[in-house]
Amino acid sequence: MRTCKKCNLKIKTDSDICPLCQNKLVGKKEENVFPSIPNIYKKFFTFFKILLLISFIISLICLTIDLMINKFHFSIFVILGFICLFIILKTAFNNKESLFKSILSQLIIISILSILWDYFTGFHYWSITYVIPILCIISTLNLAIFSMIFKNYLDEEIFYFICIFLIGLIPLIFIIVGIPNKIPSIISVLLNLICIVSLLIFRFKEVKEELKRRMHI
């Protein structure tokens, strides 16, 4: 019989992972008493293939545009953005408990680092023109994907949805101050504005309760 030290659970299984907390089990393996559940990658295999194809096509289009106009290589940020997307997707399934908090933390940390890097290299505005808006777009798309896959976690993590959507509106400031290329910022603002309005329309009660709980009202 296998044992989970974290849950103090004893279970007959041949698995190495606890079905409750996903931690490693110890002890002797036995015949599994639970029915076989398809791996999430198998369950959404077609979805991931389509997402990979779309990412490749968009990256290729951006790279082609870069080569044609022979200007700032924004395609690099797009490609790196998609790489980050798949890295987050990969780590998300291994750590669902802090998934949305992790996305919020990564968005804030990478945004701050990009601004500092831009500042100490002469501040050419690439951090606020491309990096932060694209990060906001990628983070919002991640939330959309995860909310479809992990529906049961939506109500519990709605606070992080609100934070990320609000951060996604920050590029509106960049538009006002007159950054060189406004397209990424416009996309980020419109996308997150739609998400906030949708959240208020369909989840107003949950948003209200979450804000009351967080602000101790």
User: Is residue 80 exposed (0-12), middle (13-18) or buried (19+ Cβ within 10 Å)?
Assistant: middle
pLDDT of residue 108 exceeding 60: yes
Same domain, 189 and 93: yes
| 169 and 203 housed in the same domain | yes
Q: Are residues 171 and 113 in the same domain?
A: yes
Query: What's the pLDDT tens digit per position in 151-198?
Result: 666 666 788 888 899 999 999 999 998 888 899 999 999 999 999 998
- One domain, residues 27 and 51: no
Q: Name the DSSP class of 152.
A: G
What gap in Å lies between CA 116 and CA 181, rounded to an integer? 20
147/184 same-domain check: yes
Is the model's pLDDT at 133 over the cut of 90?
yes
pTM for this structure? Answer: 0.59
Based on the fold, state whether residues 135 and 65 are members of the same structural domain. yes
**21 and 120 together in one domain:** no
Examine the domain organization and report whether 66 and 107 are in the same domain.
yes
Number of domain units in the chain? 2
Same domain, 1 and 52: no
- Let me know whether 92 and 105 are in one domain: yes
